[in-house]
């Protein structure tokens, strides 16, 4: 399987990672880190506090772990972690990675939900899409949305997502929605039209405009089976958030082998590691999760 963010940029990017690792290890006397053979992105929320304090230093640490790309979680006031779109892209590429995707949140007002007129929110998206384009984003993902047990609200958001998807498509960017655990709760209010809100979104939105970034741990916590969902809607899960309770593979809650098998046949284009929770040594734990993916036989390599 070919990952979307594999490009002509990737060969020099991986070379830069190798050179950076060699240089740092030469200074510290430690063994150099070898370039990873599997392309994994990191959701920067995993190191959010460090990114806000020292984005350049944090990006260099992330690159040294072997990550090929990053997904942001701090877009506000036209900036990413206090940097302009061009500055942020430059820092990521200097570190030897590429900018893959971004998490944003722009929910609808009650007035917009009732009226179906999303003009106010779409003006916000005009600038957001422009900023993300300048930053080099390939995907923009709505990080969450408030879905009460009300089919009218879901219908409004499905139409809203399609409008955003059209705007992103015109800019050469793909738009998606990131699930949370509540999206998998059974919903009787849907009148049998879907089992839960996530399935409803998949059924009611245009596949050419809206994809879903499935979060493996959130899905399991909501009572869902992520591998089964991916199989049921081939082509709709462009990006996967590979997440466990904490370090990948330790909880036994998520069947990652089944997830990756489904993703391979389902047309997934990128894998993003996210690690949430408190840790005294976050980089050590992220490294453990990254190593798990690099060593797992079911995770595709760059040549697949």
What does the pLDDT look like over 199-223, one tens digit per residue? 999 999 999 999 999 999 999 999 9
What value does the CA radius of gyration of the chain take, rounded to a whole number of Å? Answer: 19
**Res 149: pLDDT:** 63
Query: Region 4-23: what's the mean pLDDT?
Result: 36
246-250, long-range: CB < 8 A, 24+ apart: 246/275, 246/276, 246/277, 246/279, 246/285, 247/275, 247/285, 247/288, 247/289, 247/292, 248/273, 248/288, 248/289, 248/292, 248/293, 249/289, 249/292, 249/296
Q: What is the pTM of this model?
A: 0.88
Rounded CA separation 181/144 (Å):
10
**Res 276: pLDDT:** 84
Kind of pairing, strands 239-242 and 211-215? parallel
What does the pLDDT look like over 158-171, one tens digit per residue? 999 999 999 999 99
Domains of the chain by start residue, with CATH: 10-295 (3.20.20.150)
């Amino acid at each position: 399987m070919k990952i979307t963010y594999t490009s002509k940029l990737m060969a020099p990017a991986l070379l830069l990672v190798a050179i950076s690792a060699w240089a740092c290890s030469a200074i510290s006397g430690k063994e150099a880190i070898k370039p990873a053979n599997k392309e994994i992105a990191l959701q920067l929320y995993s190191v959010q506090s460090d990114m806000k304090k020292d984005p350049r230093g944090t990006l260099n640490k992330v690159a040294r772990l072997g990550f090929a790309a990053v997904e942001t979680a701090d877009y506000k006031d036209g900036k990413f972690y206090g940097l302009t779109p061009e500055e942020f892209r430059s820092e990521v590429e200097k570190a030897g990675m590429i900018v893959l995707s971004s998490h944003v949140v722009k929910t609808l007002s009650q007035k917009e939900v009732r009226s179906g007129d999303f003009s106010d929110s779409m003006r916000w998206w005009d600038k957001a899409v422009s900023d993300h384009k300048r930053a080099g984003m390939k995907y923009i993902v709505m990080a969450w949305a408030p879905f009460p047990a009300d089919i009218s609200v879901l219908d409004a958001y499905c139409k809203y997502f399609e409008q955003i998807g059209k705007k992103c498509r015109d800019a050469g960017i793909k738009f998606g929605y990131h699930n949370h655990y509540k999206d998998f709760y059974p919903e009787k209010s849907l009148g049998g039209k879907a089992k839960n809100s996530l399935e409803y979104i998949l059924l009611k939105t245009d596949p050419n405009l809206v994809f879903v970034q499935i979060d493996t741990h959130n899905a399991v916590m909501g009572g869902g089976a992520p591998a089964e969902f991916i199989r049921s809607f081939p082509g709709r899960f462009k990006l996967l958030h590979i997440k466990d309770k904490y370090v990948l593979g330790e909880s036994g809650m998520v069947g990652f082998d089944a997830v990756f098998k489904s993703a391979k046949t389902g047309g997934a284009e990128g894998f993003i590691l996210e690690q949430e929770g408190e840790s005294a040594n976050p980089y050590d734990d992220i490294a453990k999760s990254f190593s798990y993916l690099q060593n797992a036989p079911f995770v595709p390599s760059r040549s697949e």
